[in-house]
Amino acid sequence: MEDISLHILDLVQNSIAAGATLVEVFIRELPNEDHIWVQIRDNGRGMCEHQLSQVSNPFYTTRTTRKVGLGIPLFRASAEASGGSLQIQSHRGKGTTLLALFHSNHIDCLPIGKLEDTMAALIFMNPEVNFVYRHEISGRQFQMDTREIREILSEVNITDPDVIDWIKDYIKEGLEELNGGA
C-alpha cells in the first residue's frame, strides 16, 4: 500500500463485509512523540478465538472467493516497518477494533494519504453504513459523523455527487485547519 488511507479503505471494507453498520476511524497524530495512532472500530460480527489467532496469517481467510487475506497482515507489516505495532481486539457478535502505532519520523513510515478521498469513497460505496471519522493532531480535533449529515440532509441522498463533493471538501478543510492552515 502507498499510504495509510489505502489501508483504512481496505480494512473498513472488511468491517462492512463482516456486517458492520457503524465504523469508526480515529487517527491521532502526536508529532512531539513521533506517533501516529490509527484505530478502526466496527460493530460487525467480530471474530472467534480461532479466527483471531489466524488473522495475521495471509493464507487464512473466511472468504470463499479467494484463498488469501492480506489486509490485516499488510497493515501490521506497515506499522512494524516504522517500528510500530498492531493490536486487535474482537468479540463475537460485538465487533472488532484494530489499533496501529506508526512512528512518524521513521524512514519507512507511510504517509497518511488523502483521507478525504478514502472517507468519501467509503460513504459513496456504502450508503447504508454509518461512519464516524475523527482526526486529532496535538490535542486539536476534527470530526465527521454521517448520522449527523443524514439528519441535516433529510430527504437528500448522502450518495448524491454534490453531497460527496461537499464531504470531501469538509474533511479536507478540517484537516487543513488541524495542520495550521497548511
pLDDT at position 71 is 84
pLDDT at position 65 is 56
Above pLDDT 70, what percent of the chain? 91
The answer to whether 43 and 20 have CB atoms below 8 angstroms apart is: yes
Angle between helices 4-17 and 115-125 (to 10 degrees): 20
The total number of structural domains in the chain stands at 1
Count the residues in the chain.
182
Q: How far is C-alpha 9 from the chain's CA centre?
A: 6
Grid coordinates in use for 169?
471538501
* Range of lowest pLDDT (55-59, 74-78, 98-102): 55-59
Strands 22-30 and 130-137: parallel
Domain of residue 11, CATH code = 3.30.565.10
Q: Which domain holds residue 87?
A: 4-178
The answer to whether 143 and 133 have CB atoms below 8 angstroms apart is: yes
pLDDT in tens, 114-165: 999 999 999 999 999 999 999 999 999 999 999 999 999 988 999 999 999 9
Instruction: Judge whether residue 68 has pLDDT over 50.
Output: no
Q: Which residues contact 15 (CB under 8 A, 6 or more apart)?
A: 23, 40, 42, 44, 96
